[in-house]
Amino acid sequence: MRSQLFILLIFCCLSSCNNKPLPSNGVIATTSWTAAYAQAAGATNVTVLAPYEMVHPSEYELRPGDIGRLSKTNLIVYAGYEVMVNQIKAGLKIPEEKMIKIVTSYNFAEIEESVMLIAKRLGTEPTAIKNLKEIKQLLLKGRLDVQEKGLDKQPVLVHFFQESFARELGINPSMIFGPAPPEPKQILEMARTNAVLIIDNAHNPVGGSVKDILKNGDNKLLLNFPGLYQTRTIADVIRYNIDQLIAK
């Protein structure tokens, strides 16, 4: 039934919607995170499907107004874990050459690879290189801040979706938890680490039960997707997360 409704939605939209096509250099990004990669690559005209204020952007489903834009754009940037991807590929039959799949993380090597992949399609390599230099400097400064606070030598619990960021800053997780809420046995194991910090994920926090046991452990909610707290770019998220980690 759901798939039938979606097909009907496509038919109605394509036959009657009056969406104007995006400019020839327009890029559509599935979420704020893929949009941030496109912007870092040098794209200046980026349309984001999932609203910035969404807490769970990967769960966004296509709306009628999206379909015309997707059909007319030259490039769609996606990561692969978004609910809408199957709708775009199967329902809209968008040609593969109009889509580019990237890896989203805060590991610099992966950031660099994905940003340059987009930049090569756009012909914006010089801008991408400049933006990547800024991102790398932010991560290096963050690593120094973490060392100064001693978090690189203390037990830290890290949410699965924050592992790439934590390791990039020199934090060696004592345990990785999530994305599902930890079970009692895992909570007990986590408590035995005597961790001084729990790095949880703001988009699906599940470390609260551990925080109740680790009375001396601080709990920090870090971002992956830009949008919350006035973040829009990869650099914005890195700055926000570092500020959270080093705050007293």
Q: Give the confidence band of 71 by pLDDT, cuts at 50, 70, 90.
A: confident
Instruction: Please give the pLDDT value at position 90.
Output: 80
What are the structural domains, with CATH classification, of the chain? 2-127 (3.40.50), 148-246 (3.40.50.1980)
Max distance between CA atoms of the chain, in angstroms, equals 61
What tokens appear for 194 in the block?
């005597």
Report how far residue 164's alpha carbon sits from residue 161's, in angstroms, rounded to the nearest whole number.
Answer: 7
Would you put residue 178 in left (φ > 0), alpha (ψ -120 to 50) or beta?
left
Tell me the three-class secondary structure of 145-160, residue by residue. HHHHHCHHHCCEEEEH
Instruction: Please give the pLDDT value at position 8.
Output: 41
Q: Give the confidence band of 214 by pLDDT, cuts at 50, 70, 90.
A: confident
The predicted-structure confidence for 176-213, as pLDDT tens digits, reads as follows: 999 999 999 999 999 999 999 999 999 999 988 888 78
Residue 16 has pLDDT above 50, yes or no: no
Helix axes 234-246, 32-41, angle to 10 degrees: 110
Q: Are 182 and 208 in contact, with CB atoms under 8 Å apart?
A: no
Pairwise pLDDT comparison (159 vs 248), residue with the higher score:
159
Section 100-117 average pLDDT: 98
**7-16 as b/e: b if 16+ CB within 10 A:** eebbeebeee
Helix (H, G, I), strand (E, B) or coil at 100: strand
Q: Are 28 and 22 in contact, with CB atoms under 8 Å apart?
A: yes
The predicted-structure confidence for 42-68, as pLDDT tens digits, reads as follows: 999 999 999 999 999 999 999 999 998
